[in-house]
Chain A
Amino acid sequence: MSSVAHDHAHDHAHDHGHGHHGGYGGIMRWITTTNHKDIGTLYLWFAFIMFMVGGAMAMVIRAELFSPGLQIVDPDFFNQMTTLHGLIMVFGAIMPVFVGFANWQIPMMIGAPDMAFARLNNWSFWLLPFAALLLVGSLFVPGGAPGVGWTLYAPLTVQMGIGMDLTIFAVHILGMSSILGSINIITTILNLRAPGMTLMRMPLFVWTWLITAYLLVAAMPVLAGAVTMTLTDRHFGTTFFNAAGGGDPVLYQHIFWFFGHPEVYIIALPGFGVISQVIPAFSRKPLFGYASMVYATSAIAILSFIVWAHHMYTVGMPVTGQLFFMYATTLIAIPTGVKVFNWVATMWKGSLTFETPMLFALGFLFMFTLGGFTGLVLALVPVDIQLHDTYYVVAHFHYVMVAGALFAAFAGIYFWLPKWTGRMYNEKLGQIHFWLTMIFFNMIFFVQHFVGMAGMPRRIPDYPLMFETWNKISSLGAFGMGLTQLLFLYIVVKCIRSGETAPQKPWEGADSLEWTHLPTPVPYHTFETPPVLK
């Protein structure tokens, strides 16, 4: 390791001072940067800010649902909150946080000096704040933000005010950013691997991102098409989704979910990748069944394109259609089961330790599997017709989105923060953050299974008295979980500013290139000469 550090200083001291960042300082450094590490940092902070904004909206939702009846916000505003909460968390928080990981980690894990298109990378990021401004700004136009739900279903979307147009443009820009980012990631992985880094030697995080990027390139344009149709229906006299002109609102649902189901895996797969790095590191064993993990991930990605209508069993499709989508959906349980099995088998007879990244990985494993099981329940047509649009569905997708994707993101941040900053976070506070998040998360969402099965519909600001107790528990959990994330902010800022110096290799079992071939903290430029792989 020390020899690599020496090589680096030797190679680059002449054109960059140590740790200096090209031509600009201050804010201009961040606006003009083309360095994958800077852009990764920008993505991560952007995602965190959006996580807080979307989280604040969730607090409004839970505050209103604390008691039956209407007390804090009017139903219109409540609908706007559910819509923006969904859009912001999916497109503003979860997707960017994993693009942030991709930017930081992929070049280092495959031994590349930077992303393939560094300037495009800068542009992919800087599209995001404008999209976020349009989304949040739609709250302040006449009529407010759209109150249609994050799925933007026609025909409601055709009737909304100009906030809807802002949202459509925001989705266009977000899609553009994701597609450009994905093209960049695929090109980097396929063309810039160090000699000897064959595809089947890549860390699994890189594999999951390669597959995710393909999903993004294939699925995001379909969403762009769907919202473009909504836009022309609204303003240019087309009738894609208007029954009077020969269109059909159900068609929107088909197009949306053709994008929407791959999107679910776009969110989940990079998280799987992070977990597949963390669990072996803290088990001090290589990942069990590496090749089967790669094939399982690919199988999930391919299956994700033929299951979309399980989100819409109740639209009146023929029974044959329902059966096809039911069987295809339950089929996904097989590759997902392979992955869960492999993670558990990785820990089998390993020398486990339970630092914060591992705790979050284990939390992910338990909670994501639970969410997977409720997904299987919902995949079954007769059950789903009962549970469609109830809180059971809300509980299900939060188990896979929050305890799946978000827990994986926390695991990744605690795992790589020492590498990125050269400082350790406070282990004790990290573990407190984990336990509080875990407890409050289950307080919010576990009880929602009960109210959902009892018939409480989602996206409605009021509910019958009999659901009050569970909703109170859920709301208290939500406030707790919101506050806990301020602790996370404190831990990260404290780590960056005054954490203890991290050892060269803080995690004994970590074995990808960034741990074995680079010093801690990683220098600003890495692998300008490719590493030698045995």
Chain B
Amino acid sequence: MNIESQNRLLSRKLAIVAAAMFGFGFALVPFYNQICAALGVNSIEEKDQVVNTQVDLSRTVTIEFDSNAHNMPWRFQPTVRYITVHPGELATVEYEIVNVRDAPVTGQAVPSYGPQIAGEYFKKIECFCFTQQTLAAGETRRLPVVFVVDPKLPKDVNTIAVSYTFFEVAGRGGKS
């Protein structure tokens, strides 16, 4: 084999490696999701399992509720600003969403917590953030969050801020 065809052969092999690595970047997406599912991290859309329902009456925790609709035609707010609970106690709050657009809109809520470490102790049994919500034009809906604060919550955390942000899901149930 002469040197030109050797060169061409090698360059073709290397081009295949480059193309495969481009694909590998995309393969990381399902791989990442599988890893997260296997390790149980990043499961914002899943119901938490509450095992210990022992109520710790010796301390109280203030839960503050915040809400945002990110570039969405929704009015979105909690019906109470904050509540006070004992760790281990079952509590329910409601949020109200109003779709002010004259067309149906689908949104997905993403929770976040302050301080960050409180997230893993805030156990949601029912939440509107578990599924996408589709509201008809002008519809108003009241949606519950049922939760338990894990009694293992570190002692120095007295207040947890729970913030939900709704993002519009493009192309589903409405224009975007």
Contact = CB atoms under 8 A, between A and B. Distances in A.
Interface stretch (A238-246, A447-455, A485-493): A238-246
Among B18, B20, B32, B170, the one with the most A-chain Cβ atoms within 10 Å of its Cβ is: B18
A217 B16 CA distance: 10
Interface stretch (B5-13, B92-100, B142-150): B5-13
B46 to A, nearest CB: 12
B7 A187 contact: yes
Contacts of B26: 225, 229
Contacts of A255: 25, 28
Contacts of A142: none
A523 to B, nearest CB: 22
A248 B108 contact: no
A420 interface: no
Contact of B171 (A221, A237, A251, A317): A237
Interface in A309-334: 316-318, 321
A250 B42 contact: yes
A170 interface: no
A318 B44 contact: no
Interface residues of B, number: 37
A497 B162 CA distance: 68
A139 interface: no
A381 B166 CA distance: 33
A337 B26 CA distance: 35
B19 interface: yes
Contacts of A184: 11
A243 B111 CA distance: 10
Q: Which applies to chain A's interface (DSSP): helix, strand, loop or mixed?
A: helix
B17 interface: yes
Given A183-B15, A191-B3, A243-B167, A225 B25 contact: yes
Interface string A222-252: 1111100100000001011011111010110
Among B20, B29, B44, the one with the most A-chain Cβ atoms within 10 Å of its Cβ is: B29
Contact of A244 (B29, B32, B169): B169
Nearest to B10: A187
B110 interface: yes
B17 A217 contact: yes
Contacts, number: 99
Contact of B25 (A191, A222, A318): A222
Q: Which applies to chain B's interface (DSSP): helix, strand, loop or mixed?
A: helix
Please classify how large the interface on chain A is, using the bins under 10, 10 to 19, 20 to 34, 35 or more. Answer: 35 or more
A332 to B, nearest CB: 21
A73 B44 CA distance: 40
B21 A222 contact: yes
Contact of A251 (B20, B32, B176): B32
Contacts of A117: 7, 11
A168 B170 CA distance: 22
A248 B42 contact: yes
A521 B79 CA distance: 81
B62 to A, nearest CB: 23
A245 B167 CA distance: 8
B168 A244 contact: yes
Given A224-B25, A243-B167, 7 more contacts: A117-B11, A225-B24, A225-B25, A225-B26, A242-B167, A244-B167, A245-B167
23 contacts: A117-B7, A187-B10, A219-B21, A220-B18, A221-B21, A221-B24, A222-B21, A222-B24, A222-B28, A223-B25, A225-B23, A229-B29, A243-B108, A244-B108, A244-B110, A244-B169, A245-B108, A245-B170, A246-B45, A248-B36, A248-B42, A251-B28, A254-B32
Going nearest first, the 7 A-B pairs with the smallest beta carbon separation are: A225-B25, A244-B167, A221-B22, A221-B21, A244-B108, A222-B25, A243-B110
Interface of B: 3, 6-7, 10-11, 14-15, 17-26, 28-29, 32, 36, 39, 41-42, 44-45, 107-108, 110, 116, 166-171, 176
